[in-house]
Amino acid sequence: MNKILKEKIMEAFSAVLPITVIVLMASVVLVPMPTGTILMFIGGAALLVMGMGFFTLGADMAMMPMGEGIGIQLTKAPSLALILGISFVMGLIITIAEPDLQVLARQVPSIQPSMVLILTVGVGVGFFLMLAIIRILFKIRLSVLLLIFYLVTFIVVFLAPGNFIPVAFDSGGVTTGPITVPFILALGVGVASIRSDKHSQDDSFGLVSLCSIGPIIAVLLLGIFYKPSGADVESHTVPVVTTSRDVVVRFAVQFPQYLEDVLKALAAIVIFFLVFQFIARRFKRHQIVRIVVGFLYTLIGLVVFLTGVNVGFIPVGHLLGSELAASPIKWILVPFSMVIGYFIVDAEPAVHVLTKQVEEISSGAITQKVLKRGLSVGMALALAITMLRILMGISIMWILIPGYAFALLLTFFVPKIFTGIAFDSGGVCSGPMTSTFLLPLAMGTCEGAGGNLMTDAFGIVAMVALAPLIVIQGLGLIYGSKLKSFAKQTEQEIQKIRTEKAEEIVLFEEEAWYE
């Protein structure tokens, strides 16, 4: 176990190192920062590496086998109503457990208490998780459901308060974070595994994408009926730290808060698992021990990770954005954010879960390396467009509507498995690193450029979730084209062999006749 943990930590180190080096270089060349702030960032990076290592191991041991086992057992329920009821409860519980959502909810003080927003998002996820299970069981094409519900989403958009729309789309992104993704992905694999048809593998993906739509619609409806006076957002301030002791104190003070948040989050899932195990008796004793140990690793990983990124990364992200946007070289934010986006994908915990699962399900046809590169390109494009939008004051709807329209159009031309992977990837990319580094970067940029925080800064999560939909499906088009070309070439070779064999037979018969 220690060897595996060491490997996970080294993987996390290689993933976090590029983004750390980029920010440190920027602090020297572009935006000189106080020594204390740099020390906090380095400390945060170290905690992020340790947290990612523990979390990914914990997800492998607990969240994924638990989700897959529950998915298989779920299909054995005596009635469809019971299956859907359990699915709804699971969706609600894992959403309440998602730390990213709690971070977002605390930044929208006009909806108080914050649990109102959290429960609204939870209901949206629960309802759409039911739809996702129905889709797998009844073999409904994912692209059809995506087209229908995104049309519904944009219809509701025109009825919701304008300054509330970015929060709604960001809610859909942050919902699918480090706790939700491993569980939902494995749940889809478990449910799809009971089918023996050739499309069951393709249909195992798509749960995350559907569960990302639910919160958007639910929060838009909340904006219509709740009538918020204004979705104001708290601005991040850079803490003053002058000594190494101040840095340690900053981390030590925040650690208990994140420990409490993660304990509450995981407690709901643990209780659900215990009730499920008591009723279904699905897991054997050694499996339960492994899952419990996995939960412990997940707890340690998430607490350390969230402490690191919240304390060490938020101040640096905000400072970089505000200083560069207020400088004469503000347009450098576009290429700078592209570089940040390209490398920050590897630092998202849930990305590792998704890419591993895709490689396993596709039997190596879609490798982790190829998928990660596609996600990196998507993230780079998303951040470049976001910075242009903030600096130029462009409404996010001018990007989201044509962007989603194009992404939905592609679903009818790419292999089915790529549709599910692409829309799942959109939710997976918008994880803790987005909410704790990229969002503060966007907020700082907005403040430095004199923009509107609510309509300009928010929406970055939505942009991050949109770009992979197009990029990954683009990979799907290339993959499908190569597959057809290979099949055509193979058919031509087979036909050539048949022709040669036929000619040999004719010659043999002619020779035999003459003899």
Q: Which two tokens stand for residue 154?
A: 């944009």
Place of tokens 């060491």: 6
H/E element, 485: helix 460-514
Q: Which amino acid is at 448?
A: G
Q: Give 53's DSSP letter.
A: H
- If pLDDT is split at 50, 70 and 90, which confidence band does 231 have? very low
Q: Is 234 left (phi over 0), alpha (psi -120 to 50) or beta?
A: beta
Q: Is 450 left (phi over 0), alpha (psi -120 to 50) or beta?
A: left
Q: Mean pLDDT score of the chain, rounded to an integer?
A: 80
| pLDDT 10s digits, 206-230 | 788 888 898 999 989 988 887 655 4
Are the CB atoms for 203 and 104 separated by under 8 Å?
no
- If pLDDT is split at 50, 70 and 90, which confidence band does 127 have? very high
Lowest mean pLDDT among 84-88, 98-102, 386-390, 511-515: 511-515
Q: Which amino acid is at 359?
A: E
Give the helix ranges, DSSP H, for 204-243. Answer: 207-226
H/E element, 256: helix 244-280
* Angstrom distance (rounded) from CA 472 to CA 467: 9
Averaged pLDDT, 20-26:
89
Q: Is the dihedral of CA 423, 178, 282, 70 positive or negative?
A: negative
* Helix then strand then coil, % of the chain, to nearest 5: 80, 0, 20
| pLDDT 10s digits, 258-312 | 888 788 778 888 888 888 888 888 888 888 999 999 999 989 988 898 888 888 8
Are the CB atoms for 183 and 268 separated by under 8 Å?
no
Write down the domain spans for the chain.
2-231+242-514
Q: Of 327, 319, 326, whose CA–CA distance to 238 is shortest?
A: 319
Residue 492 confidence (pLDDT) = 63
Averaged pLDDT, 478-502:
66
Are the CB atoms for 418 and 375 separated by under 8 Å?
no
Q: Which long-range contacts (CB under 8 A, 24 or more apart) does 155-160 make?
A: 156/217, 156/220, 156/221, 156/224, 157/220, 157/397, 159/220, 159/224, 160/220, 160/221, 160/223, 160/224
Are the CB atoms for 215 and 172 separated by under 8 Å?
yes
Q: Of 298, 340, 303, 348, whose CA–CA distance to 12 is shortest?
A: 348
* Angstrom distance (rounded) from CA 435 to CA 457: 11
pTM over 0.85: no
